[in-house]
Amino acid sequence: MSTIWNADGLVPTRSANIDRYKLNFLKQAVCELRFPTLMELGDSRPPVAMVAALRKEYPHLELANQVTIGVGAPAGTSNAHIFRSSKLNWTVSLNQSSLSIETTAYPGFPQMRERILRVVDAAAKIIDSDFFTRIGLRYINVIDTDEDPTDGWVNPALVQPILSRQFAGIQEYAGRLQLLADDGGCLLQHGIRLKQPARDGKATPPEYLLDIDSNRNDVALSDTAEALDAMHNQVFDIFDWSLGEKARNHLSKGAS
């Protein structure tokens, strides 16, 4: 029987385009998995079992120092172990309370899902927990074209104040929509990102940011794959709703 989270119902309308798009606007995809703090994972030496499990796919190993600052408490330090792929476009980070996998070369959800589950399988041996306190899946998309993105590239509902033509000289425009349930939630952050003028001094159309995050709380390790599927579906539903028809037509084209 499939696991169902209350947070699954926060976006009840499902997109019919989940397998339609051949291209993407993605700049970064991140999955973070939090677990009960295990202090020894903050030591300077990475877990041997983790290194052995990841060394073929992530041969570059780094050590990063993290500083934690608490209100009314002295600052503390711990270490994060960072594993990078040979082309440096995939990164796995492990610290004493979380594990993350991120990429700047998104190949599609099936491939990312496989990578996440392989890392989870490696981490399961060392995190000393049979559940994650929180799993989050975040996609940062940037619509960057030679046209004004508010002209058919994003959902008019997102940019109605701009389309109203009641304002001039807009230097910043952004919005934030957060949806919460008792076992998770999702977040849409969006807005204009101004670009530097072209070399000839001409103004260039701005970019439009669609930053979408979905999360689930208290997820058993055995339910990780189902949580990933649920969050990906939710992120895609929000993403597809956020698009205009020009963006959908562009993403539907085959790679040139």
In the sheet that 131-143 helps form, which strands lie side by side, from edge to edge? Answer: 60-70, 73-84, 90-94, 98-103, 26-34, 131-143, 207-220, 184-193, 174-181
Contact 49, 122 (CB under 8 A): yes
The span from the CA of 112 to the CA of 98, in Å, is 18
The residue behind tokens 């019919």 is 16
Q: pTM for this structure?
A: 0.91
Specify the 3-state DSSP secondary structure of 190: strand
Tens-of-pLDDT digits for all 256 residues of the chain? 478 899 999 999 999 998 899 999 999 999 999 999 999 998 889 999 999 999 999 999 999 886 555 555 555 678 999 999 999 999 999 999 999 999 999 999 999 999 999 999 999 989 999 999 999 999 999 999 989 999 999 999 999 999 999 998 888 899 999 999 999 999 999 999 887 766 666 778 899 999 999 999 999 999 999 999 999 999 999 999 999 999 999 999 854 4
- What pLDDT score was predicted for residue 175? 96
The domain ranges of the chain are: 18-252
Contact 26, 209 (CB under 8 A): no
